[in-house]
A = this chain, B = another copy of it.
Amino acid sequence: MAVEASAPGKAILFGEHSVVYKGPAIVLAIDRRARVVVEEREDDCLYFDALDLGFSGFFVGDQYVPERGESWRGERLKALQVAAKTTMEHIGVKSGLNFIVRSEIPIAAGLGSSAAICVATVAAVGELLGGGLPLETVCELAYEGERVVHGTPSGVDNNISTYGGILRYERAKGHERLNLENTPPFVIGNTRRKRSTRRLVSRVGRLRERNPEIVNQLIDTMANISEEGLTALKEGELRCLGDLMNINHGILASLGVSISKLDLLVHASRMAGAFGAKLTGAGGGGCMIAVSEEKNFENIAKSIRRCRGVPHIINVTYDGVMTRRVE
């Protein structure tokens, strides 16, 4: 018997970087999922087939033994090993396990691929060995795995992957899940440049140390944009949403987290008819997100492709983590 669990990726609509200091981030679960299939094996090892990500290998205890792909890639699997181990400790069962990891979410692109895989891993192990875990527990245990990769992540990614939907996250107030009747689809453009969230967050931190007053003002403004953006999203005011996304992109650029390719895709999307476009996630590469009338989607996607980006048309999904037993 095996269990398959899947969990969605995410796109940040507003509040990347500012959320570290002040105000909310508005985060969307997107209809691109990571899937993990798990089954017991006879020895004590954890075996991961993550060929979508380009590697596979064993954990013998905490030691990574690569099968395919370079050994440093084991670092990526470390989060999954920790998530699986912590889940087994939580349940009080110990077993060797085979994992098959597949993902539709581009990796290192700011779309929450690693959290989605972690969440799916915890849910799959919890279902297989413990007969299912409450969502709250899945979310917490996945956070433990995420900590291995991201230091002290905000907790946004594991939350959105667990619960799906739309999340308003604020450091001081925690998570609030929003239920909106209609959310528009968005166009995402992937620059295919990988980047490290941690490095970009510390880059903004250093700029803020050098220019405290000005950077704090910009953070205040971004906090306002998040609030107004949420209102525009709730009211379906796409033109207004676009205005706010455009403004937000400029501010993120002023903090030094945009790159030429992101600016290029953002401009191209606007020229192709988007109401607005901005980078999404930490910047430095990764993706941009555009809002538009649907009739312009094909045009925008074409423009993104012409600039050598990869377009995705995405919808908000209210399906958080899901598990099912497979024979």
Binding site for B on A (CB under 8 A): 207, 210-211, 213-215, 217-218, 220-221, 224-225, 228, 240, 243-244, 246-256, 258-260, 263-264, 267-268, 271
Contact = CB atoms under 8 A, between A and B. Distances in A.
Contact of A221 (B210, B221, B244, B264): B221
A256 B147 CA distance: 38
Contact of A218 (B210, B221, B259, B267): B221
Nearest to A265: B260
A254 B249 contact: yes
State the number of copies, please.
Answer: 2
Given A211-B228, A213-B224, A249-B254, 16 more contacts: A210-B240, A214-B225, A214-B244, A214-B247, A218-B247, A247-B254, A247-B255, A249-B253, A250-B252, A250-B253, A250-B255, A250-B258, A253-B253, A253-B263, A260-B263, A260-B267
Contact of A214 (B211, B221, B260): B221
Given A217-B221, A225-B214, A263-B260, A254 B248 contact: yes
A228 B215 CA distance: 13
Contacts of A221: 214, 217-218, 221
Contact of A263 (B213, B255, B267): B267
Contacts of A259: 267
B214 A217 contact: no
A155 to B, nearest CB: 27
Contact of A243 (B210, B213, B249): B210
Max count, chain B CB within 10 A of own CB: residue among A211, A217, A250, A268: A250
Nearest to A264: B260
Task: Please list the 3 inter-chain residue pairs (A to B) with the smallest Cβ-Cβ separation, ordered nearest first.
Answer: A250-B254, A250-B253, A260-B267
Given A249-B253, A250-B250, A252-B250, A214 B224 contact: yes
30 contacts: A207-B243, A210-B240, A210-B243, A211-B228, A213-B224, A214-B221, A214-B224, A214-B225, A214-B228, A214-B244, A214-B247, A217-B217, A217-B221, A246-B254, A246-B256, A247-B254, A247-B255, A249-B253, A249-B254, A250-B250, A250-B251, A250-B252, A250-B253, A250-B255, A251-B254, A253-B254, A259-B267, A260-B264, A260-B267, A260-B271
A204 to B, nearest CB: 11
Contacts of A267: 259-260, 263
Contacts of A244: 211, 214
Contacts of A243: 207, 210-211
Nearest to A256: B246
Contacts of A264: 260, 263-264
Contacts of A247: 207, 211, 214-215, 218, 254-255
Contacts of A215: 247
Contact of A224 (B217, B248, B255): B217
A277 to B, nearest CB: 12
Nearest to A255: B250
